[in-house]
Amino acid sequence: MSNLPNVAGADPVSFPLDAFRVAIAVHLSKSLQISVDIAFTGVDLGKKGVDFTVAVPRFRLKTKLPELIQKVTSTFSPDQYLERVVGESPFVHFYVRTSTLARLVLDKAYAGNSANNSGDTYGTNKQGIGRKVIVEFSSPNIAKPFHAGHLRSTIIGAVISNIYEANGWQVVRMNYLGDWGKQFGLLAVGFERYGSEKALAENAIMHLFEVYVKVNRDAGMEKERGKKEVTNELAREVFRKMEAGDEPTLAIWHRFRDLSIRKYTEVYARLNIRFDTYAGESLVSPAQIKAAMDILQSEGLLSTKTSEESDSDWKKKRAAMAAGVLVMQDEDSEEPSAGNDLALAVDLNQWKLGKPVVQKPDGTTIYIMRDIAGAYQRYEEYKFDKMIYVVGDQQDLHVAQFFKIVSLMRAPFADMVEHVNFGRVNGMSTRKGDVKFLDEILDMAKGAMLSQMQQNAEKLQQIEDPESTADEIGMTCIKIQDMQAKRVHAYNFDPQRMTSFEGDTGAYLQYAHARLCSVERKAAPAVVLPLSSSDIDIALLAEPKAREIIILLGTYPDLVRTALKTHEPSNIVSFCFRLSHVISSTWESLIVMGTEHKLAQARLFLFACARDVLGNAMKLLSLSPLTRM
């Protein structure tokens, strides 16, 4: 950028608004006698019609505040970046030159999405180049329904992965399947009793879940009637064989796992979500588990856990689970058996994290131990700079225990792990209390959207594939409802509101993008965009609404940069709706057709840039923007 110095933290090439921040910092530096770098940190985006705002007291200067504000305003001279300044104690507000703003933002937005660009899209940056992050998300359990918690983890994890990629990081999208433990032993026993090869081939996940429910019922009835717990003991024996490497038992496990992954892959493809690797508890090597246990031993972290302690912990966990504040793995929720055998545990009571068991009395591993060993294994394989676990807040205790243990073990990655949690989804069960499968939820949303589309036969004929379009709108509705609120908040799943075209819904967002796409189609051939954006007379975009759109487009790269710190999809969703609303308010004032040619070109150019930026933001949310609907 001409006449602008290099400033620490500023990158006007990737973030067009940084050019104006630097210009403001230069003026502050001269008027207040502070360094440009310090001045730059004090420049914030303005609110309510203000472009940029500076809170003067943050510089902690000894001169009285009115005098400081007077210095800033009285020494100001307009230049190519800044047009005027207004003092409003304790702030100073800066207004930028519209022509420069439009040229910098729109040229960058247009070039970033043109067919001949270098592959980068507007909003991306290279700040994370050379750094690697593993994002573990979704992580369903084999033979259990893909429930609301997994859906939230899947949606949020996909967005976080996209955010890191947009900021230049190398991202490993990891799906850590719950494919080990006594739950598989139960499944193997159940399939022997109730399994059907035909049903397994048709829908592996659904059938394995049905089998799992039946065998769990068997185990529960045995316990209630005071009978010998044959089912649970058979399940434990199967798991012992698995851990011992028994080939026939592992062959059954491999088959169920592979069939489940195949089905999951279909569902993820429908959600427009991909994974780089399907990991799992089962892939944590026995050698790595032993190595981790050796570290726990050498660091003096292992202690025994008496049956009384186990019984007390179990009762507390059951109470927490009943209250809905804790989710337990099957192996953790099993009532402790009577006897003198002692489990191995790590005492975290001084941090108020309890005393989690890492090895059962029979020598088999437990979930948290496989997490610990798995983290070591991943670090050796990937040499990551950060590893993010996208897990619901009902697992907060488990994750806190896991992180504290690797810290006490002095693991080289202990300060590189991060938990991104989220609240519960209510209302995802049927009236009978049965959990809905994801396929059922997606089909419901698709059906609702197709029904609405069929009410307009003329528009329906213009859509090449109504079924696919309805499916995409339905998925957008589900995702947007999930991401609209802050991720830490629980929300109520509302199918009727979710699939409405009224209000801020996924359907409205897709409609906003499709309408922007229609502008260029309808304008042609009378109005077409030139090959170079430099041929556009941007000075013609002088209307306040046009300026509002341009400023919003300029904030998008900042939004992507900030999202890396907050891990908050809702801010991106809010941007999409805000941009869509502003554009919607301009259809009657920024008319393209029937307008003088140069002005029509400039407005069409603005809408093309808005379409591209809205599309980029939607893709960041793992949505597929539609061009017709």
Catalytic residues: 144, 147, 150
Please tell me the total number of residues recorded for the chain in this structure.
629
Q: Compute the distance between CA of residue 475 and CA of residue 443 in angstroms, rounded to an integer.
A: 9
- Cα-Cα-Cα-Cα dihedral of 530, 535, 536, 538, to 10°? 160
435 to 146, 153, 438, 464: CA distances (angstroms): 9, 17, 9, 34
Omega prior to 557 cis, within 30 of 0: no
Contact 119, 586 (CB under 8 A): no
Q: Compute the distance between CA of residue 453 and CA of residue 394 in angstroms, rounded to an integer.
A: 39
For the residues of 161-177, what is the DSSP string, one character each? HHHHHHTT-EEEEEEEE
Which secondary structure element, helix H or strand E, spans residue 398, and what is its range?
A: helix 396-408
Q: Compute the distance between CA of residue 462 and CA of residue 464 in angstroms, rounded to an integer.
A: 6
Q: Compute the distance between CA of residue 374 and CA of residue 451 in angstroms, rounded to an integer.
A: 47
Contact 375, 134 (CB under 8 A): no
Q: What angle do CA 591, 595, 600 make, to 5 degrees?
A: 75
Q: Compute the distance between CA of residue 453 and CA of residue 501 in angstroms, rounded to an integer.
A: 11
Amino acid at 486: K
Put the strands of the sheet holding 170-177 in their side by side order: 277-280, 170-177, 132-136, 386-390, 417-420
Q: Compute the distance between CA of residue 487 and CA of residue 294 in angstroms, rounded to an integer.
A: 38
Q: Compute the distance between CA of residue 481 and CA of residue 500 in angstroms, rounded to an integer.
A: 11
CB atoms within 10 A of CB 425: 18
Q: Compute the distance between CA of residue 627 and CA of residue 623 in angstroms, rounded to an integer.
A: 13
DSSP-H helix ranges across 271-395: 286-298, 307-322, 330-333, 367-382
Q: Compute the distance between CA of residue 355 and CA of residue 5 in angstroms, rounded to an integer.
A: 56
Which of 158, 63, 154 has the alpha carbon at shortest distance from 442?
154
Which secondary structure element, helix H or strand E, spans residue 428, and what is its range?
A: none
What's the per-residue H, E or C state across 458-500? HHHHHCCCHHHHHHHHHHHHHHHHHHCCCCCCCEECCHHHHCC
Contact 527, 601 (CB under 8 A): yes
Q: Compute the distance between CA of residue 618 and CA of residue 510 in angstroms, rounded to an integer.
A: 9
